[in-house]
A and B are shown apart, each in its own frame.
Chain A
Amino acid sequence: MLEVQSLECIRDDRQLFSALSFTVAEGEVLQIEGANGCGKTSLLRIICGLRLAEAGRVLWRNALIQANREDYYANMVYIGHLPCIKAELTVAENVRSLLDTRSLTVTEDILQDALLKVGLGSYDDVAGKALSSGQRRRILLAFVQLSQAKLWILDEPLTALDTQGVALMESMIIAHRDAGGSVIFTTHHGMLLDGKMHSVQLGRQIKAL
């Protein structure tokens, strides 16, 4: 489904990785591993088509992602470090406006269900500024859940989540994988996912140029 071919990433005269290739098939979970500053976020942004790689290419269904944005972006969802949450909008409005960027509309019932599932059931009309950082991350979980995307790209999805939140994220990833979806994620917390996942190790080949 997603194919990464001999990517190279250089940042501030430091080669973070080169000749990096892997594929992610349907129903596969891939963890990007590595220490701080080894290029995990850069790699995920390259896979999203936000950042440009120095060399190499990323293919979605055998077509370059840059040439095929419409199909690719309709089928993938990306959650980065930043919260994407507007302080002035309520929880429900935040989820809806995130879904609007994907041209998705959901009924009130489905939205309430999703919020309930991520533990924000009674918070739907609370403004974003009144939420804790963990609750903000949970809004993003509801968004990912409702995004109808086949490929989830999650950068440190466990940041600020409590133990229940971590378990929820884990169960969401497992359910998504079992339904034929794919996930690429990074994390520094242990997430075992009943062992059925692949991993790519970064940081072994960092060298100054």
Chain B
Amino acid sequence: MLKAFYHLLVRDLRLAMRNRHELINPLIFFVLVVSLFPLAITPTPDALQAMAPGVIWVSALLAVLLSLDRIFKLDYEDGSLDQLMLSPNPLMILVLAKVFAHWLLTGLPLVIIAPLLGMFMSLPAEAITVLIYSLLLGTPVLSLVGAIGVSLTVAVNRGGVLLSLIILPLYIPILIFGANAVDVAMHGSSVKGQLLFLGAMLALSLSLAPLATAVALRITAAR
């Protein structure tokens, strides 16, 4: 079972490494959106600082949303998804491997580049640390919950809008607590509550989302 998890993870990472241009799309999107705000609104440090938590978090969320399709779409189109569903291993373990690969390829690069964008938006150092923690706890939830939506819409042609409608309401708590944590840290208060909430969401989605995704995939295939 662990072997199946590992092999699928390695396969997905290898596929991504041989298709690098797709890999940097969400990252470029993230950087572009964040860097457009100072140009469009105002480049004064105070104004930038005030909107930085929201801008960075919204951009990260949209970057993940745009890349969600990649989790299952290609495997669905070439029939590999059928083979995964016919595996003697529990489907939720394989789902978890695919979601983990997605996070390593999308969420993690966003977390790594975020401090740079934080500095760019003149966030103080303590707020940048909290930004990293909040993204580190929040982006895996975005991948895990997003996978449920993708598995429901993978058979729909141009299901992008539908996917956003299903997923965005579920993303909103993460967005609120993530951005709020950075905002509060900027004003020097304790962010323990926000980070604990994000951690709880991660634990919850880690245990339930793969199960829901596996069931949703079987329902999608059954039609």
For chain B, the bracket of interface size reads 20 to 34
For chain A, the bracket of interface size reads 20 to 34
Tell me whether A98 and B15 are in contact (CB under 8 A).
no
Q: Mark B1-22, 1 if CB is under 8 A from A, else 0.
A: 0011001100100110011000
* 8 Å CB interface, B5-56 against A: 7-8, 11, 14-15, 18-19
Tell me whether B3 and A103 are in contact (CB under 8 A).
yes
* 8 Å CB interface, A41-93 against B: 45, 48-52, 69-71, 73-74, 76-78, 80-86, 88-89, 93
Give the CA-CA distance A88 to B14 in the complex, in Å. Answer: 9
* 8 Å CB interface, A103-156 against B: 103
Tell me whether A88 and B15 are in contact (CB under 8 A).
yes
Q: Mark B190-223, 1 if CB is under 8 A from A, else 0.
A: 0000000000000000000000000000000111
Give the CA-CA distance A97 to B221 in the complex, in Å. Answer: 21
Whether, in the assembled complex, B161 has its beta carbon less than 8 Å from a beta carbon of chain A, the answer is: no
- Interface pairs (15), CB distance under 8 Å: A48-B82, A50-B221, A70-B88, A73-B86, A78-B82, A78-B83, A82-B79, A84-B78, A84-B82, A85-B78, A86-B15, A89-B14, A97-B11, A101-B84, A102-B87
A residues with CB within 8 A of B? 45, 48-52, 69-71, 73-74, 76-78, 80-86, 88-89, 93, 97-98, 100-103
B residues with CB within 8 A of A? 3-4, 7-8, 11, 14-15, 18-19, 77-80, 82-89, 94, 221-223
